[in-house]
């Protein structure tokens, strides 16, 4: 009569805090955050087992930040809390992470010979690419906000407005 397998019901309690991740992981942002967290964790592990353990702080911080943002975007915390501009904060995080990962990886490759250090540097270079791609994609979405324009305007409308501005500048010369 009552088949528990046929009608799965959401369970109250902790289950409400862990939403379904399938939809988010199929999005570009979900895949990038997952890649960033996995690469940061692997880099962190490699630095722990290497002679360059002093560099493990950056991958650990980036791993924790990527996990926080993954969960925040997953439960749509950015939609509920409008106190900060989430894309701008995420852009700053990705940009600085790409720069710092690149610098640390260059330093490790140039001064060490250990295999764990070299593996950490390789993961660091791959993480640099992942963070740089994420920063680039966020910047493309963020550019209208940074220009002070409306982010919902169509690209053609903005281009025509820009052409009108250049014509008015040319006529005033």
- Is residue 109 a part of any domain in this protein? yes
Q: Are 134 and 93 in contact (CB under 8 A)?
A: no
Secondary structure E strands in 42-146:
none
> What's the confidence (pLDDT) of residue 168?
47
- Is residue 61 a part of any domain in this protein? yes
- Is residue 160 a part of any domain in this protein? no
The total of structural domains in the chain comes to: 1
DSSP state of 27: S
Residue numbers of the domain that contains 125:
20-148
What is the Cα–Cα distance from 57 to 45, expressed in whole angstroms?
Answer: 11
Cβ-proximal residues to 36 (8 Å cutoff; 6+ apart), any chain: 62, 66, 94, 97, 127, 130, 131, 134
- Is residue 6 a part of any domain in this protein? no
> What's the confidence (pLDDT) of residue 71?
85
> What's the confidence (pLDDT) of residue 141?
87
Alpha helices (runs of H) in the chain, residue ranges in sequence order: 22-25, 28-48, 57-74, 77-80, 86-111, 115-147, 155-172
- Is residue 114 a part of any domain in this protein? yes
- Is residue 121 a part of any domain in this protein? yes
pLDDT tens-place values along the chain, 173 residues long = 555 555 555 555 655 566 667 777 778 888 898 999 999 999 999 999 888 888 889 999 999 999 988 888 888 887 777 777 788 889 999 999 999 999 999 999 998 888 888 999 999 999 999 999 999 999 998 888 777 765 454 444 444 444 444 444 555 54
- Is residue 13 a part of any domain in this protein? no
Q: Are 149 and 158 in contact (CB under 8 A)?
A: yes
DSSP state of 151: T
Q: How many CB atoms lie within 10 A of CB 63?
A: 21
């Amino acid at each position: 009569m009552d088949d528990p397998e046929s009608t799965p019901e959401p369970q109250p309690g902790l289950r409400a805090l862990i939403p379904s991740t399938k939809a988010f992981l199929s999005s570009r942002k979900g895949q990038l955050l997952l890649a960033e967290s996995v690469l940061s964790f692997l880099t962190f592990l490699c630095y722990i087992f290497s002679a360059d353990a002093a560099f493990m702080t950056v991958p650990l911080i980036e791993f924790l930040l990527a996990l926080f943002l993954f969960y925040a975007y997953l439960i749509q915390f950015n939609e509920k809390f409008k106190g900060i501009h989430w894309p701008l904060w995420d852009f700053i995080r990705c940009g600085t992470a790409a720069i710092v990962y690149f610098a640390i990886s260059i330093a490790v490759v140039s001064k060490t010979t250990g295999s764990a250090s070299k593996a950490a540097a390789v993961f660091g270079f791959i993480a640099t690419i992942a963070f740089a791609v994420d920063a680039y994609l966020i910047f493309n979405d963020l550019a209208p906000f940074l220009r002070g324009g409306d982010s919902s305007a169509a690209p053609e409308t903005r281009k025509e407005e820009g052409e009108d501005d250049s014509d008015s500048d040319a006529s005033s010369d």
